[in-house]
Chain A
């Protein structure tokens, strides 16, 4: 498989039937929700909504039935998540668990871990956060310093995690940390743990507010925090291998090109149904990007379903997607004047401001643009 292999995405009639069901559900559930709430995209939190999705069978869709999953295809899951994102549904509660924690547990977890976690995730009642970044270990994940030391009956953890989105709302974290060796050993000697965010003694959560003042991020300090033996996920020392296998899931989904979608909808509302030539060209260009990105992203979903690890292709999707998401606010403001303020532009201006302020994060979270381009260069054989 070359770096530029993008097989045609799978097609499925069942998935399209599912799409109409999801649309009807969302039309009901999100009726009356203002655009500014929808613009939060996959940063919006609503535990009740997550539970409702779980009840509909739309969380853990690809997880095997024997663990309470729904045994559906990656394409069916793709349809559900892209519909949720395009509608601006508040999904962040269950998002990480559905996207990567659940699949990691299924892949590397013990039988008991699968029996415990998967049904709860599927119900939309067990939220996960990602314990990867640290104060001095952001893009350079292999320089991780947080350490778990073997003690009687479990592990004692010391260190600090940073930029942990939704940690304060999550029930569990998949912690990536060192279990042997030193920072100089890089990828070797790392492991993953399933850490109970509510019950673990010696774990404290401190908010790190974003530039908007919102609380999404956290700093998590582990001070002699004890986790039992059965918290180890997978094999001791295999943390790097396990964590990197999550990344294609993390980078290629529709959340990597739909973060500004609600702003695009509101821009179109301002432009109206008979746009000027300039507006038509601008909107059409974004549409052309979205249509091609969606094809690439669905192609990666097909490869993941087939058991491949298309890390380079996922990085290509995320790099292109973030560029588009970040271009949309500028295009929107070039098409709709917000000064002087009017009643008609008030709602649009709010969504524009929200998206403009969040746009810098689009090429930081989930792997910075620079890291992604390094991965692509490696995929091309340059390093």
Chain B
């Protein structure tokens, strides 16, 4: 139900024009208003905090739909920020939010937040920010920061924010910095799964439509096999996204997220490359929509940690249990 609503809503709202405008620094206000009206950004919250009582995995599956549409909005960030705040019993404000965390921030006992943090997703477009400090306190900031606009490889806003402001609320966070990074990684695994699903569909259609040597290029075995590989990587990413969605909760299943993000990130790179190869030159143009998805795949595979970071974590986890416990350790993930 939730997923169908999102599919319809994002399908209507996210056009190539909206994506292009977003790349130029605009905010897709119409799309956000529709999303907010449907309450999708609240899906991860408990009912007591304004959510509507769906499970965590189902709520997060919205992000696979967002990935399918290259949704140019801070849905993952608003969901995560609300989750972080509500876990610490801080009232969740309305509207779009984002997250800030890192060693550059300090929070005085008087509630004054100072410091600079880079890579804040959608920072220029939000007022409310959930800040996680290194000492495991969480604070809510509503304005009172300056923004230097920066962007990721997909031209999504990833801004540098400097704070010197009193926070609206603060509390001890039950969510650690490692938990939050893992939760962020889970959102990226789901976004990747969705974007790969979309480019598999787009690329299959293109191979059926594009004719060379008197037949659709999809009739050539070499092209079919590339598409099969794209589909296989997409299948792996879908599984990874589902694993990630189920791993987020009060007790974070960090090894599961490590496996999911490492695998999804690997699939993202392979899949983006194959989609471009099959699309040929037209897929390399700005005019064609493929790049909205492949650029995001490249961005998302690195955000919240790429293959190396998560593989290393998982590898240490597996090794620590010892060779003879490898299988039980894997099946417990």
Contact = CB atoms under 8 A, between A and B. Distances in A.
B239 A295 contact: yes
A281 B315 contact: yes
Given A265-B326, A285-B307, A291-B243, A3 B231 contact: yes
A266 B200 CA distance: 37
A232 B175 CA distance: 64
Interface in B311-333: 311-324, 326-328, 330-331, 333
A13 to B, nearest CB: 15
Nearest to A380: B204
Interface residues of B, number: 53
A374 B227 CA distance: 10
22 contacts: A6-B238, A19-B331, A86-B327, A269-B323, A271-B319, A280-B311, A280-B312, A280-B313, A284-B258, A288-B262, A288-B266, A288-B314, A291-B243, A291-B330, A292-B243, A292-B259, A373-B229, A376-B227, A376-B228, A381-B208, A382-B227, A383-B218
B236 A320 contact: yes
Nearest to B319: A275
Given A299-B239, A382-B227, A287 B315 contact: yes
Contacts of B235: 4, 6, 296, 313, 316-317, 320
A274 B323 contact: no
A373 B319 contact: no
Identify whether the interface residues of B are mostly helix, strand, loop, or mixed.
helix
Given A86-B327, A268-B323, A274-B319, A288 B224 contact: no
A83 B327 CA distance: 8
A4 B200 contact: yes
B218 A273 contact: no
Contacts of B327: 83, 86-87, 261, 265
A373 B243 CA distance: 25
Contacts of A86: 327
A102 B323 CA distance: 35
A266 B204 CA distance: 41
Interface string B221-235: 100110111011011
Contact of B204 (A8, A87, A289, A381): A381
A60 B296 CA distance: 47
A284 B315 contact: yes
B231 A291 contact: no
B331 to A, nearest CB: 7
B225 A373 contact: yes
A318 to B, nearest CB: 10
Contact of A4 (B218, B225, B238, B324): B238
A171 to B, nearest CB: 31
A265 B311 CA distance: 17
Nearest to B322: A273
A377 B229 CA distance: 9
Contacts of A281: 307-308, 311-312, 315
Contact of B319 (A280, A285, A316): A280
* 8 closest cross-chain pairs (CB), A and B: A284-B315, A284-B311, A280-B315, A284-B314, A269-B323, A377-B224, A373-B228, A376-B228
Nearest to B267: A292
B323 A383 contact: no
Decide if the interface of chain A is mainly helix, strand, loop or mixed: helix
Contact of B224 (A275, A282, A373): A373
A231 interface: no
Interface residues of A, number: 56
Query: Which of A277, A289, A299 has the most chain B CB atoms closer than 10 A to its own CB?
Result: A289
Nearest to B311: A284
A319 interface: yes
Contacts of A274: 319-320
B231 A4 contact: yes
A65 interface: no
B192 interface: no
Given A292-B243, A292-B263, A283 B310 contact: no
Contacts of B219: 382-383
B256 interface: yes
B315 A282 contact: yes
Given A4-B234, A284-B310, A381-B204, A291 B227 contact: no
B318 to A, nearest CB: 5
B65 interface: no
A380 B231 contact: yes
Contacts of B159: none
A280 B316 contact: yes
Contact of A288 (B227, B238, B259): B259
A263 to B, nearest CB: 11
B197 interface: yes
Contacts of A374: 221, 224, 228
Given A377-B224, A380-B231, A284 B238 contact: no
Given A284-B316, A288-B259, A319 B228 contact: yes
B328 to A, nearest CB: 7
B236 to A, nearest CB: 5
Interface in B231-270: 231-232, 234-236, 238-240, 242-243, 256, 258-260, 262-263, 266
A382 B323 contact: no
Interface in A168-217: none
A382 B315 contact: no
B107 interface: no
A272 interface: yes
B76 interface: no
Contacts of B256: 291
Contacts of A19: 331
B120 interface: no
Contacts of A3: 231
A357 to B, nearest CB: 22
Interface string B175-201: 000000000000000000000010010
Given A6-B238, A87-B327, A291 B333 contact: yes
Given A292-B260, A299-B239, A287 B266 contact: no
B70 interface: no
**Which among A294, A313, A373 has the highest number of chain B CB atoms within 10 Å?**
A373
Nearest to A272: B319
Given A281-B315, A370-B225, A382-B208, A316 B310 contact: no
Interface string B290-318: 00000000000000000110111111111
A70 B121 CA distance: 55
A381 B229 CA distance: 15
